[in-house]
Chains A and B, each alone.
Chain A
Amino acid sequence: MPHGADRTASPNREAPGRRAALAFLGAAFSSVLARRAEAKVLPLLSRRLVRLHPPEAPPALHFKTATGETQTLADFRGKGVVLNVWATWCVPCKAEMPALNHLATIVAPDGIVVLPVSIDTGGLKAVQKFYAANHIAHLPILLDPDGGIARALKAPGVPTTVIVDRKGLIEGRVEGAVQWDAPASIALLRRLVGPAE
């Protein structure tokens, strides 16, 4: 885990009592939902985000596209990047993938790209099968079967996501699944990435 990291404050600035009540209601509601309909209830980005102060330059890392082309973060200079390291056998990854898929369509006009890099040893075939079964249509297939990217990012497991701003610096990282397409998550992501030039 990087040094100097701390949790961001919630974007909302309500009285603590009210926030606690809301949190309680939210938790009760979501647990009811989880039990009753077993709906997918993932935490907001603000709950899992660990910000970096100051933002750090990313380590050297690379991954391959479905056609075998090697890409690095430098290829996305000037854009905001949500770099998500995941695997098909990982339950939380599977849970957040539809949200990432949806996020990609929402933030594309802002110049923010979502890059899910799979560390599956099964490679392209495993990911293609997963995308088809889970109706993932708006995300690129990116592969790193020997997991160098996880090593470079010092990820403790998957999913691990880093948010890279338009200057190419890592603003924060997330371990675990997040409801990426929730309005509050999107707003926070836009703030982290910075205004488009």
Chain B
Amino acid sequence: MRGLVRSLFSSATRRRPATLLAAALLAAASLPAAARAAATAWVGDRHAAVRLITAEQATGSMSAIDAGLEIRLAPGWHAYWRTPGAAGIPASIAWAGSQNLRSAKLFWPAPHRYVLDGLQTYGYERDVVLPIAIHLMYPGAPLVLHAAVNYSACKTICVPYHATLHLTLPAGLALPGPEAPLITAARRLVPGSLQEFGLSVLATEVAPAANGRSDLILRLAARGSRLAHPDLFVEGLPQGAPGRPRFTRSISGDVATLVVRRVHDAAAKLAGRTLAFTLTDGPGRAAAFPAAPVLVSAASLPGGVALPLAILAVALLGGLILNVMPCVLPVLSLKLFALTELAGAERRKVRIDLLTTAAGVLAGFAALAGGLIGLKAAGAAIGWGIQFQEPWFLAAMTMVMALFAANMWGWLDISLPGGLASRLGTAGAGSRRGTAFLTGLFATLLAASCSAPFVGTAVGFALARGPLQIAGIFLAMGLGLAAPYLLGAAAPRLVSLLPRPGSWMVVLRAVFGFLLLGTAVWLVSILLEVGGALPALLVGVIAVLVLGLLASRSCIRTFLPSVRRFSTGIAVALAVVAVFVPALGREFLAPSPPPTEVLSGPWHPFDRVAIARDVRQGRVVFVDVTAAWCLICKVNALTVLDRDPVAARLGTPGIVAMRADWTRPSPPITAYLQSFGRYGVPLDVVYGPGAPHGIVLPDLLTPGAVMAALAKAAALPPPAILGRIN
């Protein structure tokens, strides 16, 4: 029918003079006329024309022949990709009447995006060759190609074209024809695999957006190859032609995120649907791959500006609960101890001391919020507690804990945390206040290793949003953590309820000192996992040296003041060196590759792609995202996951238990956390035939909750369970 249509638009067959010239030259070279078979004449008009070309001038002895459909377009005219976008007829070829043709497969060079009259179209300009892989029925015999080509080309108007092309390749020596380079060049423009591109998919997600819209999110890990101006073409969508994706990348450049806004499709409609992605980034750089997006909550994308009161209340509550989490307890015990010393003191003094601690807590949260906002603005992957993935932070906190312990044992007058207090600029009003401030600050920095109930929700909500929301929610959490001190400041009489100072305090001091030393040991053990053996050993040795120096200094009272000052100086210098050791370690100390994960018991390494496959095969998948520095994770492991009945259940054949270790920075695991709107560990998810999208378990696991989720996920037929999305 299109042939009829074509006839009404004036489309005269036209030979390009250059083609005639080439033919004449070849003829002049005394080649037999039949050998000039590597190209047909152009068929079309001055706007668009096509011809068939082959790489060889004869069939030779091969069973396969490279050919191509070349489309020539006048300036401003477009022809279409196999998925044309808003509208268009892509080239199609019918081979009826051909002889000795077994099969012909058309390939599509990576498309370009054109916005025509405000509509998205995907296609080509100027000149494009669509490579064709032709297989012969009888190798060595002549090949007769009859190609009936349909396509459309558009500028301000559209014209449907129908061209009939005839090409005969004789038998004989398969010498490359003059068009062979055109086909070779076109083959290079056909998208390859992501691996060739130096990329791999971290996650494909779809998140609901306002007004029934949705966002398709593609996160890619780039190894060595950076994306500059990528474009993404998505095929297999129910309707519509998406526009150019929003592109962001992390500062290190190793994670690229492309977001395609879908106006017509609700997120649930796209989830699980296999889509074909074609990623392009400049000429000759293109990759094609299929992926089925996973439904995620909108929280993993920047949302509106509104900050509901509810989430602030959740943050406040989370902060309050952090007071009793094991990660802050050692430092806060220090505070408690300081308070007992204040029991008899005047109200004003108590008030100021407590308010200073609260200020330290808030300063700690402000520092965390500021750091995370900065990292996010720079495009880095962020998360709650990511400072524990940094060796220098671990080293610094180890030294701080060691010094605090020394103070508890009376080896170091913390009225001289020398440099530290003066550096903070709060030292003026007395070192006591400086200590109070530091206690609050360090308690906060340590608190981030815990994801207490409500904390995960608040942090997940905050980190997905803008700077204002992050600051607001972190401030609320800070107020929560500072609440006991603020309460004390409001009613100083409460402090007087604490026991009076006495000789019992000497014992308590020693106990608290060991508690702090324990924290330091814990930090070194994390450093061992994050930074490797050598930095951990060095930091540990330096901490012991510093403690020894301080101990000997305080024991030997006969030291001259200058010697005492000198030894303090050495201790501080050593502590500073310890902080830099792990940083150096990255450069020239053992650049230890991440130790190959040794997972014991039923645990397999985390593999996000395998989850869907295992679930399809009827298995239940339990995913535990953990980190060495996450105390709640340790508690979960010790009390629930490594104990019966859960441990026994995870060991049964129908269940795959996966453990994702977030101790060090890991883009795939960060992406996985974010797909649940989470920015911290622990995260435990159960998948199964009854819960293909996963059931998210509470932060603090109980055997009952885990067993119930496992049973629910295994249930068949699948009931309508949507994963509890945070």
Residues of A within 8 A of B (CB): 34-35, 38-42, 48, 87-96, 119, 121, 133, 145-148, 150-151, 154-160, 175-177
In Å, the complex CA distance between A160 and B158 comes to: 10
A94 near B157 (CB under 8 angstroms)? Answer: no
By beta carbon, the residue of chain A nearest B3 is A121
B116 at the interface (CB under 8 A from A): yes
A155 near B8 (CB under 8 angstroms)? Answer: yes
By beta carbon, the residue of chain A nearest B118 is A40
A150 CB, min distance to chain B CBs, angstroms = 4
Residues of B within 8 A of A42 (CB): 117-118
A158 CB, min distance to chain B CBs, angstroms = 5
4 additional contacts (CB under 8 A) given A38-B118, A42-B117, A155-B9: A90-B87, A121-B1, A150-B9, A159-B158
A176 CB, min distance to chain B CBs, angstroms = 3
The residue in A92, A145, A157 that gathers the most chain B C-beta atoms within 10 A of its C-beta is A157
In Å, the complex CA distance between A151 and B154 comes to: 18
> Given that A88-B87, A147-B4, A150-B5 are contacting pairs, would A157 and B157 also be in contact in the complex, using a CB cutoff of 8 Å?
yes
A95 near B118 (CB under 8 angstroms)? Answer: yes
- 5 cross-chain pairs, A with B, having the tightest CB-CB distances, nearest first: A176-B156, A40-B118, A95-B117, A157-B157, A151-B8
In Å, the complex CA distance between A177 and B177 comes to: 43
B158 near A93 (CB under 8 angstroms)? Answer: yes
A92 near B117 (CB under 8 angstroms)? Answer: yes
In Å, the complex CA distance between A151 and B89 comes to: 20
By beta carbon, the residue of chain B nearest A96 is B117
B118 near A89 (CB under 8 angstroms)? Answer: no
A–B Cβ pairs within 8 angstroms, 29 of them: A34-B115, A34-B118, A38-B115, A38-B120, A40-B117, A48-B156, A89-B89, A90-B87, A90-B154, A90-B158, A91-B86, A95-B116, A121-B1, A147-B5, A147-B8, A148-B8, A150-B9, A151-B8, A154-B10, A156-B10, A156-B159, A157-B154, A157-B157, A157-B158, A157-B159, A159-B157, A175-B156, A176-B157, A177-B117
A32 CB, min distance to chain B CBs, angstroms = 13
Q: Give the residues from 362 to 395 in chain B that come closer than 8 angstroms, CB to CB, to chain A.
A: none
By beta carbon, the residue of chain B nearest A94 is B87
By beta carbon, the residue of chain B nearest A133 is B239
B119 near A91 (CB under 8 angstroms)? Answer: yes
Interface size class of B (residues with CB under 8 A): 20 to 34
B152 at the interface (CB under 8 A from A): yes
In Å, the complex CA distance between A96 and B87 comes to: 13
B42 CB, min distance to chain A CBs, angstroms = 19
In Å, the complex CA distance between A121 and B5 comes to: 8
Residues of A within 8 A of B5 (CB): 119, 121, 146-147, 150
A41 CB, min distance to chain B CBs, angstroms = 6
B531 at the interface (CB under 8 A from A): no
B540 CB, min distance to chain A CBs, angstroms = 57
Partner of A91, one of B1, B116, B239: B116
A40 near B119 (CB under 8 angstroms)? Answer: yes
A160 near B243 (CB under 8 angstroms)? Answer: no
A36 CB, min distance to chain B CBs, angstroms = 11
In Å, the complex CA distance between A126 and B85 comes to: 17
> Given that A38-B118, A96-B117, A145-B1 are contacting pairs, would A91 and B158 also be in contact in the complex, using a CB cutoff of 8 Å?
yes
Residues of A within 8 A of B157 (CB): 90, 92, 156-160, 175-176
Q: Give the residues from 84 to 121 in chain B that come closer than 8 angstroms, CB to CB, to chain A.
A: 84-89, 115-121
A91 near B8 (CB under 8 angstroms)? Answer: no
Residues of B within 8 A of A40 (CB): 117-119
B513 at the interface (CB under 8 A from A): no
Residues of A within 8 A of B159 (CB): 156-158
A92 near B8 (CB under 8 angstroms)? Answer: no
B346 CB, min distance to chain A CBs, angstroms = 64
Q: Give the residues from 556 to 577 in chain B that come closer than 8 angstroms, CB to CB, to chain A.
A: none
Residues of B within 8 A of A94 (CB): 86-87, 119
B116 near A92 (CB under 8 angstroms)? Answer: yes
By beta carbon, the residue of chain A nearest B84 is A89
In Å, the complex CA distance between A87 and B7 comes to: 16
By beta carbon, the residue of chain A nearest B159 is A157
B229 at the interface (CB under 8 A from A): no
B9 near A157 (CB under 8 angstroms)? Answer: yes
Partner of A146, one of B1, B87, B152, B154: B1
B44 at the interface (CB under 8 A from A): no
Q: Give the residues from 312 to 348 in chain B that come closer than 8 angstroms, CB to CB, to chain A.
A: none
B2 at the interface (CB under 8 A from A): yes
B160 at the interface (CB under 8 A from A): yes
Residues of A within 8 A of B2 (CB): 121
B160 near A87 (CB under 8 angstroms)? Answer: yes
Partner of A89, one of B10, B156, B158, B239: B158
B243 near A38 (CB under 8 angstroms)? Answer: yes
In Å, the complex CA distance between A94 and B239 comes to: 14
A77 CB, min distance to chain B CBs, angstroms = 26
A150 near B8 (CB under 8 angstroms)? Answer: yes
In Å, the complex CA distance between A158 and B87 comes to: 13
Q: Give the residues from 155 to 185 in chain B that come closer than 8 angstroms, CB to CB, to chain A.
A: 156-160
In Å, the complex CA distance between A110 and B176 comes to: 67
- The digit string for B9-46, where 1 denotes a CB below 8 A from any CB of A, is 11000000000000000000000000000000000000
Residues of B within 8 A of A90 (CB): 87-88, 152, 154, 157-158
A95 near B119 (CB under 8 angstroms)? Answer: yes
B117 near A89 (CB under 8 angstroms)? Answer: no
A89 near B87 (CB under 8 angstroms)? Answer: yes
In Å, the complex CA distance between A92 and B88 comes to: 10
In Å, the complex CA distance between A155 and B7 comes to: 11
By beta carbon, the residue of chain B nearest A157 is B157
Q: Give the residues from 105 to 150 in chain B that come closer than 8 angstroms, CB to CB, to chain A.
A: 115-121
A172 CB, min distance to chain B CBs, angstroms = 16
By beta carbon, the residue of chain B nearest A149 is B8
B9 CB, min distance to chain A CBs, angstroms = 6
By beta carbon, the residue of chain B nearest A88 is B87
In Å, the complex CA distance between A34 and B243 comes to: 12
Residues of A within 8 A of B85 (CB): 91
By beta carbon, the residue of chain B nearest A176 is B156
A92 near B1 (CB under 8 angstroms)? Answer: no
By beta carbon, the residue of chain B nearest A119 is B5
In Å, the complex CA distance between A145 and B85 comes to: 23
B84 CB, min distance to chain A CBs, angstroms = 8
The residue in A40, A91, A93 that gathers the most chain B C-beta atoms within 10 A of its C-beta is A91
In Å, the complex CA distance between A52 and B88 comes to: 31
In Å, the complex CA distance between A50 and B119 comes to: 25
A92 near B156 (CB under 8 angstroms)? Answer: yes
In Å, the complex CA distance between A155 and B8 comes to: 8
A162 CB, min distance to chain B CBs, angstroms = 14
Q: Give the residues from 609 to 642 in chain B that come closer than 8 angstroms, CB to CB, to chain A.
A: none
B212 CB, min distance to chain A CBs, angstroms = 15
By beta carbon, the residue of chain A nearest B2 is A121
By beta carbon, the residue of chain A nearest B158 is A90
Residues of B within 8 A of A158 (CB): 157-159
The residue in A48, A158, A175 that gathers the most chain B C-beta atoms within 10 A of its C-beta is A158
B9 near A91 (CB under 8 angstroms)? Answer: no
Residues of A within 8 A of B84 (CB): 89
In Å, the complex CA distance between A185 and B84 comes to: 30
In Å, the complex CA distance between A176 and B157 comes to: 5
B243 near A91 (CB under 8 angstroms)? Answer: no
By beta carbon, the residue of chain B nearest A146 is B4
In Å, the complex CA distance between A35 and B118 comes to: 9
B581 CB, min distance to chain A CBs, angstroms = 51
The residue in A90, A145, A154 that gathers the most chain B C-beta atoms within 10 A of its C-beta is A90
Residues of B within 8 A of A34 (CB): 115, 118
Residues of B within 8 A of A155 (CB): 8-9
In Å, the complex CA distance between A93 and B119 comes to: 11
In Å, the complex CA distance between A157 and B115 comes to: 19
B152 near A89 (CB under 8 angstroms)? Answer: yes
In Å, the complex CA distance between A159 and B84 comes to: 18
B75 CB, min distance to chain A CBs, angstroms = 16
Residues of B within 8 A of A151 (CB): 7-8
Residues of A within 8 A of B10 (CB): 154, 156
